[in-house]
């Protein structure tokens, strides 16, 4: 197997100088994630300096490093390590001869990225590369690009933003053949003011499209016109997806599947496909439609993609389902602890309402970066909570105060200060047969509650 990068290639890509010949099989900028054969990129940040961890990186198996200060170990010396990582990512994209997809959106981008990866990997096993975790920012995207094997048939990259102009820069690094916008919601609205402004910022993803590129946009979005207008300026082809029959890729019929997912018949341009979406919820059906549109645009096998969607595993923090100990039996835990905004909250609460359970419990953490609309948007969750027939809500954090006020007299709830208090309450009260949804912005720390429930052999004791 050929090396991911040689020291000569790294030096050529970054304009640096190699101290000695070496070859690497991976790339990392966090010394804690370094494994055997990796290239360690020592970057200087506002809080810490990666050069302080060079010894640790080599102890953990690094073969070489990109540095802006000379070191004793094998390295490529550059002026700016962060700029060098971006240059390495661009070089990786330039040498790749396969097809690339880029994914953004206010909600669903990580799940859609993972689903598209599984769909394409079903077509070309072992030849598909994607960004891991949520590496979707100014560091994560070039890192993900730099890790792409040179012989990849497909690359799938997630791109995020919280300010205008960020996606424009990232998409020009990724240069996708297919660019997907999953949905528009008031995530990061603190920095934009309106959802329309968010839509305009998300539409920047089309600016980096290859000349023959395809834009994939949500037809059901109230901001479809903004997305479509931008796509027309940059895309050779536009595919819409959604539940509306006017969408290019749309649902003809859908019914609940035996495993909790959804059996879907979808219409595409010139084709019809019956398949199962393994993950529960209409939001996952929407994600699946976007995936099918992308697979069609990339020239992939739609039938194979349908099989992959049926087998798509749940993602930790994004809908993973587990049975956990509760009283004398078990309860269903739905882990949505990684992120939250009003649209994703409503979608997951709707799915909770469909679960067959003795009690439906919603543990909801505050939603961040909502600006002066925070109170209104938190209070607005009262309606989907009631519609889902939630038996008990546990509200976590000061941001949830407006929702607590709106729920008075509507349904039973507790309002606690933090994730630790919520964990103690859930462990005490959880019963066999319950279905419990845990969802909130990552900063609330509800992942610790999930970890405690999974690890706890005897909740309540």
Task: Give the pLDDT of residue 203.
Answer: 97
Q: What pLDDT sits at residue 190?
A: 76
CA-nearest of 70, 61, 74 to 26 is 61
In whole angstroms, what separates CA 277 from the centre of its chain?
A: 18
Evaluate whether 203 touches 179 at the Cβ level (below 8 Å): no
Structural domains present in the chain = 5-81 (3.40.1390.10), 96-311 (3.40.1190.10), 320-455 (3.90.190.20)
Surface-to-core class of residue 7, CB atoms within 10 Å of its CB (0-12 exposed, 13-18 middle, 19+ buried): buried
Please tell me what DSSP assigns to residue 314.
P
User: 116-155, pLDDT tens digit by residue?
Assistant: 999 999 999 999 999 987 788 999 999 999 999 999 999 9
Cα 346–347–351 angle (5° rounding)?
115
DSSP character at residue 53: G
DSSP 79-93: S-HHHHHHHHHHHHH
The pLDDT profile of the chain, 461 residues, written as one tens digit per residue, is: 589 999 999 999 999 999 999 999 999 999 999 999 999 999 998 788 999 999 999 999 999 999 999 999 999 999 999 999 999 999 999 999 999 999 999 888 999 999 999 999 999 999 999 998 778 899 999 999 999 999 999 999 999 988 889 999 999 999 999 999 999 988 767 777 899 999 999 999 999 999 999 999 999 999 999 999 999 999 999 999 999 999 999 999 999 887 778 999 999 998 999 999 998 889 999 999 999 999 999 999 999 999 999 998 778 888 889 999 998 899 999 999 988 889 889 989 999 998 999 999 999 999 988 888 999 999 999 999 999 999 999 999 999 999 999 999 999 999 999 999 999 999 999 999 999 999 999 899 999 999 999 987 544 43
198, 158 contact by CB (below 8 A): no
Q: What is the pLDDT of residue 315?
A: 80
Pairing verdict, β 329-336 and 320-326: antiparallel
DSSP class of residue 132 equals: -
> CA–CA separation, 341 vs 278, rounded Å?
23
Q: At 139, give phi and psi (nearest 5°).
A: -105, -45
Query: How much is the pLDDT for 259?
Result: 72
Which pLDDT does position 314 carry in this prediction?
A: 74
Predicted pLDDT of residue 457: 53
What pLDDT was estimated at residue 1? 57
């Amino acid at each position: 197997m050929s090396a991911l990068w040689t020291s000569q290639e790294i030096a050529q890509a970054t304009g640096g100088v190699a101290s000695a010949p070496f070859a690497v099989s991976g790339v990392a900028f966090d010394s804690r994630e370094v494994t055997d054969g990796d290239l360690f990129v020592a970057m200087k940040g506002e809080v810490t300096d990666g050069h302080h961890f060079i010894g640790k990186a080599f102890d953990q198996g690094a073969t070489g490093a990109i540095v802006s200060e000379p070191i004793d170990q094998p390295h490529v010396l550059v002026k700016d390590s962060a700029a060098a990582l971006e240059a390495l990512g661009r070089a990786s994209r330039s040498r790749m001869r396969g097809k690339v997809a880029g994914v953004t959106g206010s909600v669903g981008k990580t799940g859609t990225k993972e689903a598209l990866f599984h769909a394409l990997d079903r077509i070309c096993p072992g030849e598909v590369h994607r960004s891991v975790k949520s590496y979707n920012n100014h560091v994560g995207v070039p890192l993900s690009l730099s890790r792409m094997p040179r012989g990849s048939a497909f690359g799938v990259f997630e791109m995020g933003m919280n300010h205008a102009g960020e996606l424009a820069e990232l998409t020009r690094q990724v240069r996708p053949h297919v660019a997907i916008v999953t949905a528009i919601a008031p995530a990061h609205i603190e920095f934009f003011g309106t959802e329309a402004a968010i839509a305009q910022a998300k539409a920047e993803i089309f600016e980096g499209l290859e000349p023959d590129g395809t834009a994939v946009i949500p037809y059901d979005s109230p901001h479809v016109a903004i997305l479509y207008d931008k796509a027309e300026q940059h895309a050779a082809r536009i595919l819409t997806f959604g539940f509306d029959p006017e969408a290019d890729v749309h649902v003809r019929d859908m019914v609940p599947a035996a495993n909790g997912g959804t059996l879907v018949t979808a219409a595409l341009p010139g084709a019809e496909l019956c398949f199962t979406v393994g993950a529960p919820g209409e939001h996952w059906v929407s994600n699946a439609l976007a995936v099918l549109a992308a697979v069609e645009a990339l020239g992939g096998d739609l039938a194979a993609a349908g099989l992959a969607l049926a087998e798509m595993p749940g993602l930790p923090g994004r809908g993973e389902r587990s049975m956990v100990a509760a009283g004398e039996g078990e309860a269903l835990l739905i882990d949505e602890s990684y992120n939250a905004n009003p649209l994703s909250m409503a979608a997951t609460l709707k799915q909770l309402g469909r679960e067959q359970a003795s009690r439906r419990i919603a543990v909801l953490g505050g939603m961040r970066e909502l600006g002066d609309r925070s109170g209104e948007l938190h209070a607005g969750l009262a309606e989907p909570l009631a519609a889902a027939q939630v038996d008990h809500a546990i509200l976590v954090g000061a941001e949830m105060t407006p929702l607590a006020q709106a729920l008075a007299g509507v349904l039973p709830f507790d309002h606690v200060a933090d994730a630790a208090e919520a964990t103690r309450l859930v462990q005490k009260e959880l019963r066999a047969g319950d279905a419990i949804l845990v969802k909130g912005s990552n900063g609330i720390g509800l992942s610790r509650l999930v970890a405690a429930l999974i690890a706890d052999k005897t909740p309540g004791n």
